[in-house]
Amino acid sequence: MVKNMSKPKKASDTGRSPTDAALRFLGARARTVREVERHLDACEYGEVEVYETVERLKELGLLSDLAYAGDFVRTRLATKPVSRAHLREQLLAHETDAEAIEQALNQVDEETQQRTAAAVAEKYARQYARLPEDERNEMVIRRLLSRGYAYDEARAALQQTTGEQIE
């Protein structure tokens, strides 16, 4: 018995329109314009088809880097708070439009940044409560630094959480 060893068919070979392919791709989760373009390119649609499809999706309000970035920031701050700088890096990794990134990051003012840092500090202070105080403080600050907070922000958040003077 001979098995079919041909490559899997690309969406463009199956007769599926680029709009169908894009909508199917968008159905899983929100995407950036660049992510949709790359997906359609991988499906081997032509440059004009990709451009027209993306523009049509934008017109219909189904594809927007501004909406994506705003939702990303709100969701991230609600589920796993990180610093403004870390959010910028993550949005850049998704190849989000620079203007959309800046508008979305306007949601993160100093008060929000301090509040999220304090929430992270509180979480890890509880997690490391059984450690000696110096070791706990070091671990909490490391966690805050890994989420993109500046050292001074991390130290202030830890002080706020523990009520202790941190050196």
Q: Which domain holds residue 92?
A: 65-105
Instruction: Supply the mean pLDDT for the chain.
Output: 88
pLDDT of residue 166: 67
Q: Are residues 94 and 54 in the same domain?
A: no
Q: For residue range 32-61, what is the model confidence (pLDDT) as tens digits? A: 999 999 999 999 999 999 999 999 999 999
Q: Are residues 77 and 100 in the same domain?
A: yes
Q: Are residues 101 and 114 in the same domain?
A: no
> Other C-beta atoms within 10 Å of 95: how many?
13
N-term to C-term CA, the chain: 73
- Establish if 1 belongs to a structural domain: no
pLDDT of residue 69: 96
Closest by CA position to 145, among listed 154, 137, 136? 154
Q: Are residues 98 and 139 in the same domain?
A: no
- Establish if 167 belongs to a structural domain: no
Q: Please answer whether residues 130 and 99 qualify as being in contact, where contact means their C-beta atoms are separated by less than 8 angstroms.
A: no
- Establish if 83 belongs to a structural domain: yes
Q: Are residues 30 and 49 in the same domain?
A: yes
- Establish if 75 belongs to a structural domain: yes
Q: Please answer whether residues 126 and 107 qualify as being in contact, where contact means their C-beta atoms are separated by less than 8 angstroms.
A: no
- Establish if 21 belongs to a structural domain: yes
Q: Are residues 96 and 118 in the same domain?
A: no
Q: Are residues 94 and 114 in the same domain?
A: no
Q: Are residues 116 and 158 in the same domain?
A: yes
Name the 3-class secondary structure at 164.
Answer: coil
Tokens 């490559």 correspond to: 7
pLDDT of residue 28: 74
Q: Are residues 47 and 91 in the same domain?
A: no
Give the pLDDT of the chain (167 residues) as one tens digit per residue. Answer: 444 443 434 554 556 888 888 888 888 788 999 999 999 999 999 999 999 999 999 999 999 999 999 999 999 999 999 999 999 999 999 999 999 999 999 989 999 999 999 999 999 999 999 999 999 999 999 999 999 999 999 999 999 988 776 66
Distance between CA 25 and CA 34 in Å, rounded? 13
The pTM (predicted TM-score) of the whole model is: 0.78
- Establish if 2 belongs to a structural domain: no
Q: Please answer whether residues 96 and 68 qualify as being in contact, where contact means their C-beta atoms are separated by less than 8 angstroms.
A: yes
Reading the block at residue 73, the tokens are: 């920031």
Number of domains in the chain: 3
Reading the block at residue 67, the tokens are: 């909406």
- Which runs of consecutive H residues, i.e. helices, occur in the chain? 18-28, 33-42, 47-59, 65-79, 84-93, 98-105, 110-127, 133-146, 151-162
- Establish if 6 belongs to a structural domain: no
- Establish if 4 belongs to a structural domain: no
Q: Are residues 51 and 35 in the same domain?
A: yes
pLDDT of residue 34: 94
pLDDT of residue 167: 63
